[in-house]
Amino acid sequence: MEQANPRAGSARNRKVVLRDYISRAPREDDMALVDGGAVPLRVPEGAAGPAVLVKNLYLSCDPYMRGRMRDFHGSYIPPFKPGSVIEGLGVARVVDSTHPGFVAGDIVSGMTGWEEYSLIDKPEQLNKIQQSDIPLSYHLGLLGMPGFTAYVGFYEICSPKKGEFVFVSAASGAVGQIVGQLAKLHGCYVVGSAGTNQKVELLKDKFGFDEAFNYKEEPDLTAALKRYFPEGIDIYFENVGGPMLDAVLLNMRMHGRIAVCGMVSQHGMTDPSGIHNLFCLVPKRISMKGFIQSDYIKLFPQFVDYMTKHYKDGKIEYVEDMSIGLENAPAAFVGLFSGKNVGKQVVCVSQE
Amino acid sequence: MEQANPRAGSARNRKVVLRDYISRAPREDDMALVDGGAVPLRVPEGAAGPAVLVKNLYLSCDPYMRGRMRDFHGSYIPPFKPGSVIEGLGVARVVDSTHPGFVAGDIVSGMTGWEEYSLIDKPEQLNKIQQSDIPLSYHLGLLGMPGFTAYVGFYEICSPKKGEFVFVSAASGAVGQIVGQLAKLHGCYVVGSAGTNQKVELLKDKFGFDEAFNYKEEPDLTAALKRYFPEGIDIYFENVGGPMLDAVLLNMRMHGRIAVCGMVSQHGMTDPSGIHNLFCLVPKRISMKGFIQSDYIKLFPQFVDYMTKHYKDGKIEYVEDMSIGLENAPAAFVGLFSGKNVGKQVVCVSQE
């Protein structure tokens, strides 16, 4: 995998670029692996401000990134630039730093590039990782943005109470698997849906969901939910939108809460059928709330402590799906949208 | 109008009945005016419990009643019974009472029948009206359920702040006209939409909205809202659903709030196009909340005090559209769904 000796003054830097904007689901050939030429392994002199040069170790494939492939500038995060390297969350090792907070050898997580080496000009946005016996890549899921999305969404948006009925879609994914386990720890009854029988087994056997079902084998989602929730759903952690959301609306209980995150934002753009059952909001007094984890960043330290403790105590399980090699990053990302991944999808660029 | 002498022992009682369940918008001939025969003008002996016999004075035509014309038993209020008298809110005079809280001559508001005389077997649900110089029929709007819906929805659901941008659809209707005026009193910037130019003028000239527009003359609702809210919408009081809701979602500001009441519940059932722009909930952190005024009934006395004071001080205006005669009730009700009414629609059964 290694393309250069970091002790040398420079290294060859392969990168994954977006070819052009898309409005449909992404395909592998929307991205290209290109040779970025040689990069000096130092922060260039004359940079505008403090910067760090990192060697990327693990990259995260997250559904929200699809939104950055559209030519749409009205979102909370700008689109990628065609021809430029794809940006995403990653775990990296600092090679050189002109920022006082970082030194060579530090392990960091944060926004980086889909390439072997990245020059990061806003190093203050990086988190330094205190290494432990938890695998580094887990900082992209269990201890990273997806885990934090689950934590914030469940505790801050859903106002859960012990004994409530919780439904999680895309439940074996990076966010869903954590939401379900947090809900179980909170004393809720939890059902998850996923798209293969293998994932359904994982939900029940590994993650401890009370029940799980394969939505692709259910001809009538409304009836399926009625079967699993004869008394209705108090909390829905919305990851998918579309017909599942419509079926959930019909099965919500009085004063139910829907936390809206992630993929609904993508499906909405291309779903020709729309959502038809919002009329349920009134008689059932349902609240639906969109959220983004970064608004709650003050809670991040307590989240890391909570997850680390519960993971080490065996109270929370975590499953990731790792692709090896930067060249496999496009396929790994595309696989998210057909449900190919089992657990949190990451790409290993270098194990050092 | 008067069909009988109340001093006599009985009176002829005409009533409006629902012919059969419907799933489309209501038509006049879905209802029929029938002769209910002679009713004794006393609470019958041997009634199961205390009851009151009332003479109905004013009846309220409210959009939610359309939901009771469907054969759907899962809502917060059961459907009407075909062949039976239509139920609705009204203002009435007590003719006879076996309940200690009411005596003949009392004026009450509450659930009654679309008929001349009603026997009410749950009199504890009636409110006794303290007469003042405010017209009795206003207890069906300004001081009744629609006004209270506006009050609760705006203050309890929308969490308004001074200077925020507020949009109200169906703004000249019973609820909308009050919401807009409460928002103005709160220091918000308020725009309303309505379906005729006459109503648009009413919004601006009578109710003091900052701006108003005729949605039927706007080929592109998204562009229209962008024009009236170049900085976006903080609060949307949702009365209509459908394409207007989709256009609003695209124009909401960060952390916007949508209070969902009334008619969306009806439109949802028959709107073939669905809602497509829920993807906006996530990046804009929007919350949408359905509510029903009766959940906040503890606030009713403070609401009545507030509205009475502001109305008497000339700070709140009120417009109602009164049809005269029980026989005109079906047409008045049907007119709600084509926007025929200007202001709160009521029916005068008897002026005494």
Q: Which residue has the tokens 């904007």?
A: A21
> What's the pLDDT tens digit per position in B106-130?
999 999 999 999 999 999 999 999 8
> What's the pLDDT tens digit per position in A7-28?
458 999 999 999 999 988 899 9
Q: Which tokens go with A78?
A: 């700008």
Work out how many domains chain A is built from and give that number: 2
Q: Is the same domain home to A243 and A279?
A: yes
Angstrom distance (rounded) from CA B47 to CA B60: 27
Contacts of B66 (CB under 8 A, 6+ apart): B25, B26, B266, B337
Please state at what angle helix A145-152 crosses helix A176-185, rounded to 10 degrees.
Answer: 40
The mean per-residue pLDDT over the stretch A195-221 comes to 97
Does the CB of A262 have a partner CB in chain B at under 8 Å?
yes
Of the ranges A230-234, B66-70, B198-202, B219-223, which one carries the lowest mean pLDDT score?
Answer: B66-70
Q: Is the same domain home to A249 and A328?
A: no
Q: Is the same domain home to B93 and B166?
A: no
Angstrom distance (rounded) from CA B111 to CA B118: 10
Instruction: Please tell me chain A's helix, strand, coil percentages from 3-state DSSP, rounded to the nearest 5.
Output: 35, 30, 40
Residue A134 is predicted with a pLDDT of: 93
Q: Is the same domain home to A125 and A151?
A: no
Residue A272 pLDDT grade (very low, low, confident, very high; cuts 50, 70, 90):
low
Q: Which tokens go with B143?
A: 């001081």
Residue A48 is predicted with a pLDDT of: 84
Residue B247 included in any domain: yes
Min Cα distance B290 → chain A (Å) is 4
Residue A304 included in any domain: no
Residue A271 is predicted with a pLDDT of: 58
Residue B128 included in any domain: yes
The mean per-residue pLDDT over the stretch B201-211 comes to 97
Enter the DSSP assignment of B217.
G
Say whether B274 and A273 touch across the interface (CB within 8 A). Answer: yes
> What's the pLDDT tens digit per position in A290-316?
999 999 999 999 999 999 999 999 999
Min Cα distance A320 → chain B (Å) is 25
Residue B268 is predicted with a pLDDT of: 44
Enter the DSSP assignment of B63.
G
Residue B323 included in any domain: yes
Residue A276 is predicted with a pLDDT of: 87
The mean per-residue pLDDT over the stretch A239-265 comes to 86
Amino acid, single-letter form, for residue A336: L
* CATH assignment of the domain containing A130: 3.90.180.10
Amino acid, single-letter form, for residue B25: A
What is A8-60 written as a DSSP string?
SSEEEEEEEEE-S--SSS--GGGEEEEEEEEEESSPPTT-SS--EEEEEEEEE
Q: Domain range for residue A278?
A: 145-294
Q: Which of A279, A286, A291 to mutate to test the interface with B (most CBs of B within 10 A)?
A: A279
The mean per-residue pLDDT over the stretch B309-330 comes to 97
Angstrom distance (rounded) from CA B292 to CA B263: 12
Residue B235 included in any domain: yes
Min Cα distance A150 → chain B (Å) is 14
Diameter of chain B by CA atoms? 68
> What's the pLDDT tens digit per position in B247-297?
999 999 999 999 998 654 454 455 557 888 888 898 899 999 999 999 999
Q: Is the same domain home to A165 and A273?
A: yes
Q: Is the same domain home to B65 and B20?
A: yes
Say whether B280 and A290 touch across the interface (CB within 8 A). Answer: yes
The mean per-residue pLDDT over the stretch A80-99 comes to 97
Q: Is the same domain home to A151 and A289?
A: yes
Angstrom distance (rounded) from CA A239 to CA A64: 11
Q: Is the same domain home to B129 and B260?
A: no
A272: number of Cβ within 10 Å? 8
Q: In 3-state terms, what secondary structure has residue B341?
A: coil
Q: Which of B218, B268, B217, B221 is nearest to B243 (CA)?
A: B221
Residue A306 included in any domain: no
Angstrom distance (rounded) from CA A111 to CA B31: 64
> What's the pLDDT tens digit per position in A310-334?
999 999 999 999 999 999 999 999 9
Contacts of A201 (CB under 8 A, 6+ apart): A212
Angstrom distance (rounded) from CA B352 to CA B347: 14
Contacts of A39 (CB under 8 A, 6+ apart): A10, A11, A12, A13, A53, A117, A119
Q: Which residue has the tokens 């939610």?
A: B64
Of the ranges A219-228, A229-238, A253-262, B215-224, which one carries the lowest mean pLDDT score?
Answer: A253-262
Q: Is the same domain home to B41 and B152?
A: no
Contacts of B133 (CB under 8 A, 6+ apart): none
Instruction: Please tell me chain B's helix, strand, coil percentages from 3-state DSSP, rounded to the nearest 5.
Output: 35, 30, 40
Q: Is the same domain home to B289 and B155?
A: yes
Query: Residue A296 in contact with residue A156, Cβ under 8 Å?
Result: yes
* CATH assignment of the domain containing A239: 3.40.50.720
> What's the pLDDT tens digit per position in B139-165?
999 999 999 999 999 999 999 999 999
Residue A266 pLDDT grade (very low, low, confident, very high; cuts 50, 70, 90):
low
Residue B269 is predicted with a pLDDT of: 52
Q: What are phi and psi of A275, to 5 degrees?
A: -105, 130
Q: Which tokens go with A58?
A: 């693990």
Does the CB of B264 have a partner CB in chain A at under 8 Å?
yes
Q: Is the same domain home to B162 and B287?
A: yes
Residue A95 included in any domain: yes
Enter the DSSP assignment of B157.
I
Residue A274 pLDDT grade (very low, low, confident, very high; cuts 50, 70, 90):
confident
> What's the pLDDT tens digit per position in A71-83?
887 677 889 999 9
**% of chain A with per-residue pLDDT over 90:** 79
Instruction: Look over chain B and give the mean of its residue pLDDT values, rounded to a whole number.
Output: 92
> What's the pLDDT tens digit per position in A112-168?
999 999 999 999 999 999 888 899 999 999 999 999 999 999 999 999 999 999 999
Strand partners, B238: B260
Residue A60 included in any domain: yes
Say whether A286 and B287 touch across the interface (CB within 8 A). Answer: no
Q: Is the same domain home to B185 and B100?
A: no
Say whether A241 and B278 touch across the interface (CB within 8 A). Answer: yes
